[in-house]
Amino acid sequence: MNSLNDLYQTLETRKSADPNTSYTARLLQAGEDEIVKKIGEEAIEIILAAKGQGDQRLVEEISDLTYHILVLLVQKGIPLNAIADELNKRKK
């Protein structure tokens, strides 16, 4: 999952980018409420895609949700490996 790490690092660098030219910087500047709103929208779009829009559309929507979740982690200062650590704790 190197691509998730790469994306997370890119999002970290976008914190200091110009919000006029970077969607990520604009989203981070807008704050938590806007980020979680986007997460909710993407979650609904995943449900719709799963219920009849095809596998490619589902992949696209899951990718959008993943992006927005990573933006939230960056905004909160939570490292990506915290998620991996939590998932490893849940292995039985």
User: Is there a contact between 36 and 27 (Cβ–Cβ < 8 Å)?
Assistant: no
Which stretches of 1-92 are DSSP H helices? 2-14, 23-30, 32-50, 55-76, 81-89
- The pLDDT assigned to 26 comes to 97
pLDDT at 1: 56
What pLDDT does residue 59 have?
Answer: 98
Taking 90 as the threshold, does the pLDDT of residue 87 lie above it?
Answer: yes
Write down all domains in the chain, each with its CATH number in brackets. 2-74 (1.10.287.1080)
Instruction: Report which residue type is found at 68.
Output: H
- The Cα 45–Cα 13 span in angstroms is 28
Give the three-state DSSP class for 28. helix
CA distance 83 to 92: 17
* Predicted confidence (pLDDT) per residue in 29-62, tens digit: 999 999 999 999 999 999 999 999 999 999 999 9
